[in-house]
Amino acid sequence: MSLVAGSVRSIWWARVARGAMVVALAASFAACVSEGGARKEAATTDPKELDRRAKIHMELAGGYFSRGQTSDALDEVKQALAARPDLASAYGLRGLIYAAQGDKSRAEDSFHHAMELAPHDGDLMHNYAWFLCQQKRFPEADAMFAQALAEPTYHSISRTMLAQGVCQARAGRLADAEHTLSRSYELDPANPTTAVNLADVLYQRGEYDRARFYIRRVNTKEELASAQTLWLAARIERKLGAEQQVQDLGAQLHKRFPQAPETLLFEKGRFDE
């Protein structure tokens, strides 16, 4: 069981939608007019104006995508590509949107087109690798993660190692996953997602004392603890024979997450699921 699911979107895309302020940006469309409810932009061939429009449409698309409004996001990407048909990041975001919509073929085509335009873009490689992982194309995903990590100008190493480690765990390669996630943790020990996934892999490998160390680093901070992390901790403590700790964690589950599936599993004593 990978515990990264709640953070999938943050893993997927690193660059396109950072800090998008949709309302403010929409208000900056000075060259746009409304016709029958649709937006129409004044014709121009000025490269700077086209770049400006593409940037705004991409930030709008990123904002929509971050909120799960994939149709609106796709419309904005199309507008960005109308202004800049060679914009690799637009094709990359289009790939993410199609993937979220379940259109695997169009997602694949979009990623390929993006990487043809920007063959050394580590963010594009990362996102395509995660897409491959979701399709259970594990060897291809692992190779693409490695390709991103090998790019000399790529700096999001810990983020990509986290995603690669999660993917390796999904493929059943627990030893490789432990190695990759440990390296990611060394680079970014403050990332709770890395700590949780590393604890989960160590639990699956029977390394219960080490798993306890990492999961406690998350659960000791109330704002980071979740039903998933408390449940994993309870399973680890049970393997270690710490019954009082198990009961204490169960009490936290009941108090904080009474309706969570993990709480129901605890109540039924289904610790091995």
Give the pLDDT of residue 47: 82
Which ranges of the chain have pLDDT less than 70?
1-42
Same domain, 125 and 107: no
* Cα–Cα dist 242/188, whole Å: 30
Same-domain check for residues 189 and 200: yes
The count of structural domains within the chain is 3
Domain end among 172, 204, 236: 204
What pLDDT does residue 226 have? 97
- Per-residue pLDDT of 29-45, as tens digits, reads 333 433 333 456 667 77
Q: What is the pLDDT, as a whole number, of residue 145?
A: 98
Which of 103, 119, 135 terminates a domain? The answer is 119
From 183, 117, 110, 105, select the one nearest 145 (Cα to Cα). 183
Quote the pLDDT of residue 41: 67
Residue-range definition of the domain harbouring residue 226: 206-273
Same domain, 55 and 166: no
In 3-state terms the chain splits into helix, strand, coil percentages (rounded to 5) of 70, 5, 30
Domain boundary among the residues 184, 204, 224 is at 204
Cβ pair 56, 28 in contact under 8 A: yes
Distances (CA, A) of 107 to 60, 104, 229: 20, 5, 32
Residue 1 and residue 42 share a domain: yes
Residue 133 and residue 93 share a domain = no
